[in-house]
Structure 1
């Protein structure tokens, strides 16, 4: 029995509801809310003639869900007189319309905040600038390998609000949480994991400080009986231990007075509970997923799940996990050339990490890169590219920034800029065809954009799926 859910069902009756944004996360929310209270107005910036909006409306019409719609220019000017307002994740909290309604007494919430509030099961929450999707998936798989029923969602997969009635107290919930989702999150997370914090999404956040403060919300409301897992090698997020009230666990460091997981002499180790002797997890060579950073993701997952699973579950997943879609995903082999999709690499730092994994394997690599800039720091990207590939194809709004950093840093990698084969294309279709002509059997082609997808797509999944389809067409 979920008392919080029963209470909310009563609370929401007769309330005037607004849902801002008809995107991926809010559509399941609308479907869940409607049977309890059909007085819902949807606000969206899409214009009435937008084909996407038409398809979304048709989707609801087929389910006989009759909603009030306010769309197009100035759509938020009509946001008045609502009791509860559910915002889309990527929406600034300081918009005058939101502030005005909050001052009048409206409750501002979101799909993920509501789910966390109603959830009866322990929640593992994972955030970070890099690695959060992989770590989220690893934790889910490890919990499942140990016999738990697991619900995985948040910024990954399908929003979970529609399944809240299925979640039982003995289950486990694993949520990937972005800075957008965390901005106004005030719910207590049972096990909070922060992989790292570096400048990211500065095209949205007003500055790095705002981004950092959003990330802190994952542990800010924890009590002493909850758990915070931090990366001891990350200079920013490790400082959060000074502000945390919860039990602290670490990864990437040998044990001191804290539970921790670490690498040593080609092996992975765990010390739990705090102060206990080291326990062997597995050899690094047994971990199927390539890249040192993925070893760190596995250490984070081992530290987070310690005490909730046997170590054998960590080893089982480490030996079998092939990665999640759009993250160094092998999408095809054609004429002896392997094609990898890493569309999730929406920042230079992510591309740098992905390149390191291919460099560790001594791959003969062709790189397709380029996307939309988000006020990122490109330092180190030129050196990483030059160390890993001398055949580079650039396509995207940030092409100039990528080429500029290559000119500046390639010599630091011991590679004269003139020795690099750099091509620019107007589209990814051209880039794929060009890579095909460059490649020889045994080569690998990597798609790692180092920028967001918003110059051409709605999200990185759409971009990655398009790349996969282009690769599949090569066999036709």
Structure 2
């Protein structure tokens, strides 16, 4: 019986010295898969043994060698090294290992090498997770088997052996995953691009260059879907080796999705047709209209229009993305913890017809807040700032020409829970209170999910 691509790959690793850097959500299933295949694995992580709550001991019992603590990257004497997605590939220790002959790869890069089915991947500064989820759920609603992974869900490499050629793998890909990618998906979607992750990327140019890998390795049969309303993504069309389709709220591209009289239309070489009335989209906000347009463009010909309409009327969104937590005494509380950049928070603020009470601030990714100041002035009635960036956001708002202190009170409260409770105290019946930080969470939380969960716990605990 012929061996599958993943079985062939694992057999080639046997007898080699393999390291997996990062014992986290994305790499733990990878480590276990390699160990089950009889491969000698050294699992490396900066955290000490005590931080893993039994996982480290479990990996050791399966045969892994552990290299933990501050020196986890020293003397990487391995033939194959899997890096964790957020780690730069040009760290001196990794470069030294490569100079000694090591191969540097990642779970996602190997997945593309061995995946037996069609791949659809989504990247962008905002809207990645919602667009990825919409695409996968629409495929499932149309009766297809869709696997969801990459930067969301679970690592898909351990599932490859069960995938059939007619299945579809739907992936969210971050700039960090794309930095060293040498293969591109069959269908690539870029939702938008704006400054982000400049605490890790050396420049905006490097950030854009990483995103471009989602389509640069396509062949002539590949499809690139880009946002025509975003100057950076629109420029990708000139570099695409395959077909290009666009989506736009402001123009009508030759191929792709556009708005006309409150309805999303799709145009291809054959004809144009109405697909989805905006009024049918349950999710609030213009950015979610764009997310649907991106998905509709990518899935044109793969999912019936009626399936799209039925789904849009019922889909309430993904957790931590303008998620209605509860309504209490006439006040609605929304969790938008995913908003880790100014552009994301701006989209959230524009989703509401009224001025909101905003809780913002967090870890400093060295992104300017100039564009956020005017939006807060226009859409916020009271502002509660917390975390490392509180003062920077405050200064950006105060520098806005239209800012009036009496019309927009600003409170800086370092303690996250106290900031949330103060926003609650300020709210009156009919108000909207939203956590939409415009910043990453790493000053106080492990990730945006933990931050959102903390917010929800506080809100659920209100009497």
Task: Give 1:283's aligned residue.
Answer: 277
* Structure 1 residue 336: Cα displacement: 2.4
Contact (CA 8 Å) 1:196, 1:237: kept in 2 or not?
yes
- SS at 2:351's partner residue? helix
**What is the rounded CA distance, in whole Å, between the counterparts of 2:34 and 2:7 in structure 1?**
13
Contact 1:145 1:316 in 2 (8 A): no
* 1:106 matched residue in structure 2: 102
Q: Match of 1:221?
A: 217
Residue 454 of structure 1 pairs with residue 451 of structure 2: no
1:91 and 1:3 map into 2 onto residues whose CA distance is 30
Distance 2:371 2:11 in 1: 54
Distance (whole Å) between structure 1 residues aligned to residue 180 and residue 281 of structure 2: 37
How far off is 1:25 after superposition? 0.7
Q: Does 1:148 align with 2:144?
A: yes
Distance 1:417 1:437 in 2: 19
Contact (CA 8 Å) 1:292, 1:357: kept in 2 or not?
yes
Secondary structure of residue in 1 paired with 2:66? strand
Partner of 2:451: 463
SS at structure 2 position matched to 1:368 = strand
Q: How does 1:227-306 map to 2 (within 5 A)?
A: 227-252=223-248, 254-255=251-252, 258-272=254-268, 274=269, 276-306=270-300
Q: Distance in 1 between matches of 2:3 and 2:236?
A: 33
Cα displacement (A) at 1:38: 4.0
- Residues in 2 aligned to 1:255 and 1:262: alpha-carbon distance in whole angstroms: 5
Indicate the residue corresponding to 1:40 in structure 2.
41
Give the aligned partner of residue 185 of structure 2: 189
Q: What SS does the corresponding residue of 1:22 show, helix, strand or coil?
A: coil
Are 2:365 and 1:369 equivalent residues in the alignment?
Answer: no
Q: Report the CA distance between 1:157 and its aligned residue.
A: 1.6
Question: How many residues get paired?
Answer: 461
**Residue pair 1:224, 1:247 contacting (<8 A) in 2 also:** yes
Q: Is 1:167 matched with 2:163?
A: yes
1:255 offset after TM fit, Å?
A: 4.7
Change (3 A) 1:283 1:35: same
Q: 2-side partners of 1:54 and 1:326: how far apart?
A: 26
Gaps of 5+ in 1: none
DSSP 3-state at the match of 2:419:
helix
What per-residue deviation string (whole Å, max 9, x for no partner) do you get for residues 354-413 of structure 1?
A: 10102xx32x5211111111111212211111211221111110001110011011x33x
C-alpha distance in structure 2 between counterparts of 1:173 and 1:2, whole Å:
21
Residue among 304, 316, 321 paired with 1:310 = 304
Asked whether the equivalents of residues 138 and 311 of structure 2 are also in contact (C-alpha less than 8 Å), the reply is yes
Q: Which moved more, 1:27-36 or 1:306-315?
A: 306-315
Q: Provide the C-alpha distance between the structure 1 equivalents of 2:134 and 2:101, rounded to a whole number of angstroms.
A: 41
Q: How does 1:105-124 map to 2 (within 5 A)?
A: 105-124=101-120
Within a 5 Å distance, the mapping from 1:22-33 to structure 2 comes to: 22-33=23-34
The equivalent of 1:337 in structure 2 is: 331
Deviation at 1:237, TM superposition (A): 1.3
Segments of 5+ residues of structure 2 without an aligned counterpart are none
RMSD: 1.6
Partners of 2:333 and 2:392 in 1: CA distance: 25
Aligned counterparts of 1:466 and 1:59: Cα–Cα separation in 2: 29
Counterparts of 2:215 and 2:276, CA distance in 1: 30
> Displacement of 1:335 after TM fit?
2.3
Q: Distance in 2 between matches of 1:321 and 1:392?
A: 30
CA contact (8 A) 1:121 1:172 kept: yes
- TM-score, with structure 1 as normaliser: 0.93
Give secondary structure in 1 for the equivalent of 2:259. Answer: strand
Comparing 416-425 and 117-126, the one that deviates more: 416-425
2:52 counterpart residue number: 53
What residue is the counterpart of 1:66 in the other structure?
63
Residue of structure 2 in register with 1:78 after alignment: 75
Q: What displacement does 1:348 show?
A: 1.1
Question: CA 1:340–1:59 in structure 2 vs 1: closer, same or farther (change >3 Å)?
Answer: farther
Contact 2:79–2:102 (CA<8 Å) still a contact in 1? yes
TM-score by length of 2: 0.96
